[in-house]
Structure 1
Amino acid sequence: MEELNKRYYGIREVADLFGVNISRLRFYEKEFPSLKPRKNRAGDRIYTKEDIEHLKEILSLVEEKGYTLQGAREYLKNRSATQSENAKMIAKLQEIKGFLENLRDGIGASQD
């Protein structure tokens, strides 16, 4: 895949980038609620780099890894839930780390 250096890409550019029909991109928008490219004032779809990366992941799951559309949707949904849980866990661990560092600094200060 070529280097993405523009801010927005039209649907034709994205279709050419992946070698698929425009209709397939529109179909995947309906099948995957997480894929929501913006529309400009004229109503044309414009894809960001993030949209393109997400589409790349969807195409990989469906075409390369053999997932069904339902299976790919569930995979992406579960991955999002797992990432959310991981983020909460990291925040909690950082909070504990801060507490322990403060405790350590307090003990070190009292020994001086």
Structure 2
Amino acid sequence: MPYKEREISKMYYTMGEVAILFDVNQSLIRFYEKEFDVLQPKKNKKGNRYFTPEDIENLKIIFHLIRDKGYTLNGAKEYLKNNMADSKDSHRVISSLESLKKFLIEVRDQL
């Protein structure tokens, strides 16, 4: 069995790190923070936002709904309001399948 490298996760991510992670402007993330109640980043005294891994997962779900599935902002809000647990479960399944696909491609390329 090959060595499985652990992902190092942080407790908090800065706004800049999140913007780079999603390849978007920081203003879009601030806009989504105002629009979606599920995004609640911590703020320090200076007003800097710090996102938890749960916030990152919620952002992934929001971007998936808006970019990939073509939901409007109001449609994505309603979907999250009614199906938050289901969407988190399905997103976990999708991300695990993507990591499995990546691993299998790496194995194929080594053969």
TM-score tier (shorter)? 0.5 to 0.7
Query: How high is the TM-score relative to the length of structure 2?
Result: 0.67
Does 1:40 pair with 2:44? yes
* Secondary structure at 2:70 match in 1: coil
Please give the root-mean-square deviation of Cα atoms over the aligned residues, in Å.
1.9
Equivalent in 60, 63, 79 of residue 59 of structure 1? 63
Q: Aligned residue pairs: how many?
A: 81
Q: Which runs of 4+ in 1 moved over 2 A?
A: none
TM-score (normalizing by structure 1)? 0.67
Change (3 A) 1:78 1:17: same
Query: Could you give the per-residue CA deviations for residues 22-50 of structure 1, whole angstroms, max 9, x where no partner exists?
Result: 00000101111221111022210000000
Q: Following TM superposition, by how much is the alpha carbon of 1:80 offset from its aligned partner in structure 2, in angstroms?
A: 3.9
Q: Distance in 1 between matches of 2:84 and 2:62?
A: 14
Percent identity, aligned pairs only, is: 59
AA at the equivalent of 2:59: L
Say yes or no: does 1:77 pair with 2:81: yes
How far is the alpha carbon of 1:4 from its aligned partner? 5.5
Structure 2 gap segments, 5+ residues each: 1-6, 87-111
